[in-house]
Structure 1
Amino acid sequence: MKKIAIIGSGGAGKSTLAQRLGSILDIPVYHLDAIHWKPGWKAISRAELIEETEKILQHDAWIIDGNYGGTMDIRLQQADTVLFLHYPTIYCLYGITKRRIQYRNQTRPDMGEGCPEKLDWEFINWVRQFNKTKVPAIYDRLSNLDDTTIHIFKSRKKLNLFLNQLEEKVQQLS
């Protein structure tokens, strides 16, 4: 596990997972939200996002969290491991609501500077529709990967079990 792509709905905990995994494995973490959003919630162009992603992919080891369909295929093709957080919609809606309360009037650590936490109807609906509209294409993409370890987590409990076992293995090796 040296090149890890983390995908899943907003509110699933991708960035939190990336941070924990980065700490366990001592691998640099890159949050696509922090790259994509500039101050004042100004998005960079798709071409810029692809360029920035390709720079990260040149490193020997990385953890990248985020969906961003425009760069997903290149990330998945380069990854040796994919972690897909495929949680129930209600869990993710709770996640984005909790995050909004926790980071009220603040910028999250995994977000670009000058982007205070917000929660709008467009994002709520995106999360609400994620399992219906985005997940089938994600499973399609995952089915086309060769020589890639794919972990699909449908509960936080199973993810935590995986992380605890990984942490134990790493500690035994050091």
Structure 2
Amino acid sequence: MVVNAPTTPPARIRIVGTSGSGKSRLAEDVAARMHIARLELDAVFWDAGWTYRNLEEARGRVRAFLAAHPEGWVADGNWNSRLRGLMEPGTAGGADVVVWVDHPRRVVMWRVLRRTLRRGILREELWHGNRESVRSWLKWEPEDNIIRWAWTSYPGMRRRMEARIAAGDPVLRLRGQREVDDWVRSLAAGPAA
């Protein structure tokens, strides 16, 4: 576990990682344990028909969420280019810590394969009527195939996050499920909502 995070317990937590790393599951667990609000950034930035939501509308939703939950929140998802600094540590209402879920590539790929198969076969709805298509498994472009996206984005995510750690940003790097589970257990349970 690598940490540049403040020594006080975090109240505002941003969770990032490669697709399939377990960001959403971790955010659910953190929100339930700490009794804080959760924001799933995929639901904010994606709209129906796998189109991007209007950028100003999406950013407005993020701002409204931050304003509504100054006491604490957890947000999962990357979306850095669309956030344009919103939620970053050091900004008004921004995260106290960025939690990077950094499982080995083989673990991430196993998880994204299993999840994608389940979603495709069961036709699970993700956000706003969007579903992953079995046909996408045959597409070569990473932007059209979540499995290829997870594979190709993995090294870039690692470079960006290691650079943030080296720069002294408040990043908590969790390597492996044991570190993830230990960290969740270390969080103080908040008052019941």
Q: Same fold (TM over 0.5)?
A: yes
Which ranges in structure 2 are unaligned for 5 or more consecutive residues? Answer: 1-9
**Alignment counterpart, residue 64 of structure 1, candidates 65, 75, 81:** 75
Deviations 1:118-171 (A, max 9, x none): 45442222211223223222333455466x4x32111011111221233xx438
Aligned CA distance change for structure 1 residues 72 and 63 (closer, same or farther; 3 Å): farther
Match of 2:109 in 1: 93
Q: Whole-Å Cα distance in 2 between the matches of residues 72 and 86 of structure 1?
A: 23
Higher helix fraction: Structure 1 or Structure 2?
1
Deviations 1:26-80 (A, max 9, x none): 0011101111122221221444333322222223121110001221632222101
Report the structure number with the largest CA radius of gyration. 2
1:114 aligns with 2:132: no
Aligned CA distance change for structure 1 residues 142 and 51 (closer, same or farther; 3 Å): farther
1:105 aligns with 2:126: no
Q: Whole-Å Cα distance in 2 between the matches of residues 23 and 40 of structure 1?
A: 30
Match of 2:46 in 1: 37
Are the counterparts in 1 of residues 113 and 147 from structure 2 also a CA contact under 8 Å? Answer: no
Which ranges in structure 1 are unaligned for 5 or more consecutive residues? Answer: none
TM-score where L is the length of structure 1: 0.82
Q: Whole-Å Cα distance in 1 between the matches of residues 13 and 184 of structure 2?
A: 14
Q: Whole-Å Cα distance in 1 between the matches of residues 165 and 52 of structure 2?
A: 27
Q: Whole-Å Cα distance in 2 between the matches of residues 162 and 129 of structure 1?
A: 28
Aligned amino acid, residue 135 of structure 1: R
Alpha-carbon offset, residue 86 of structure 1:
1.2
Q: Whole-Å Cα distance in 2 between the matches of residues 48 and 144 of structure 1?
A: 32
How large is the RMSD of aligned CA atoms in angstroms?
Answer: 2.4
Match of 1:138 in 2: 161
Q: Whole-Å Cα distance in 2 between the matches of residues 55 and 138 of structure 1?
A: 27
Aligned CA distance change for structure 1 residues 72 and 152 (closer, same or farther; 3 Å): farther
Aligned amino acid, residue 53 of structure 1: V
Aligned amino acid, residue 54 of structure 1: R
Are the counterparts in 2 of residues 93 and 124 from structure 1 also a CA contact under 8 Å? Answer: yes
Number of residues of Structure 1 aligned to a counterpart in Structure 2:
166
